[in-house]
Amino acid sequence: MERHELVPQPESKVTNLLLIRHGATPPNEQRPYILQGCGINPSLSESGQKQARALSDFLARNSVLQHVYCSPMIRARETALAVCEPFGLIPQEIAEIHECDVGLWEGKSWDIIMQESPEAYRAFMDEPSQNRYEGGESYADVLNRSEPAIQNVLERHPGETIVIVAHNVVNRVYLAKLMGLEIGRAKEITQTNTGINIIRHKQGETRLVTMNAIFHLKDVPH
């Protein structure tokens, strides 16, 4: 079968990063969905497992990967294990890219949060980069701990294509920074479960090439 590479093999000084959100979990699929943050740590749902397999098959056909990294959370690690399988790799964990701490709002839907904490809810929605999930982190907090860790990985792998499997808020704030957006606007960025963001890094410059690609989910619920 002819290979059509998702990203061309990088030049010797270029790192290609595929930044991916984990597959779906039961809390992602609840309606209304609940905030799982970093305290609720489920496995992938049946749909999430299908998404991870579709992602793995797609990457096996369209890329050559040298390293796979992931958040230490179960949903990210299970997704990363699926990605690793056809390449014979083992996922390496990055502690700093765990999902946002949503504090007292963990396990609650936005409807309930609006009713129980109207002032904190309004403050967060108005400016999530500075106002925290009640008892948890702000978007700026997440960016400040996760960005240096991601950049460190990029610097270590010139000439290679790598994967990082992370989370909705982690990906959103990092992508907002790359696009030059105010970090508070990260909530406007869509990150589908197992959506692929292609990022290129060369000699200190990092740029976004493709955001939230979901070609592999054509026949999979998402």
Tell me, what DSSP letter sits at residue 105?
Answer: G
pLDDT at 2: 44
What are the sequence ranges of the domains in the chain? 14-101+145-217
Where does 14-101+145-217 sit in CATH, by number?
3.40.50.1240
pLDDT for 10: 61
Kindly state the helix (H) or strand (E) to which residue 10 belongs, with its residue range: none
- Run of H or E residues at 113: helix 110-116
CA gap 36, 26 in Å, rounded = 10
Both tokens of 3, joined, read 């290979």
What's the pLDDT at 220? 85
Q: What is the pLDDT of residue 219?
A: 84
pLDDT tens, per residue, the chain with 222 residues: 345 566 665 667 899 999 999 999 999 999 998 999 999 999 999 999 999 999 999 999 998 999 999 999 999 999 999 999 999 999 999 999 999 999 999 999 999 999 999 999 999 999 999 999 999 999 999 999 999 999 999 999 999 999 999 999 999 999 999 999 999 999 999 999 999 999 999 988 999 999 999 999 998 877
Is residue 96 a contact partner of residue 148, using CB atoms and an 8 Å limit?
Answer: yes
Residue 50 near residue 220, CB atoms below 8 Å: yes
Cβ–Cβ < 8 Å for 80, 86: no
* Whole-prediction pTM: 0.94
pLDDT on residue 1: 39
What is the C-alpha to C-alpha distance for residues 182 and 123, in angstroms, rounded to an integer?
A: 16
Residues 6+ apart with CB under 8 A from 218: none
Q: What is the pLDDT of residue 94?
A: 98
